Amino acid sequence: VPCEQDTANNCFWDVDKCQRKVCKYPDKNACENDPDDMCMWDTTATPATCVPKKCLYFTQGTCNADNDCQWDPNTQACKEKDPDCTTIVDKLGCLNHVSGACDWD
């Protein structure tokens, strides 16, 4: 749908092209059902609001450059680091963490 025909108001004009508004949903249900699965409902904000998910990187380099993210070699996807992992100082404890989400760097 061209920007000028976007009656749902899901797009905006950015300099010379039409762009999709990302995570601009007004309610939790619409936010969590984003067709590209890029959004999450942030209840820590006042009022609660729809925001992009963290760690939406598609390459290992950009993912690992963000201190809150880590590349999962099994799924070839970027994911949020488990905050508990940052407190583990030994390799065995890290790799055997109960969450299964820790990687030894």
56-82 pLDDT, tens digit each = 888 999 998 998 888 888 888 888 887
Top-confidence residue, 37 or 12: 37
Q: 31: exposed, middle or buried (C-beta count within 10 Å: 0-12, 13-18, 19+)?
A: buried
97 pLDDT more than 90:
no
Average pLDDT, the chain: 81
Other CB atoms within 10 A of residue 23 CB: 18
Assign 3-state DSSP to the chain and report helix, strand, coil percentages, each to 5. Answer: 25, 25, 55
Rounded to whole angstroms, how far apart are CA atoms 99 and 81?
11
* CA-closest candidate to residue 60, choices 70, 49, 52: 70
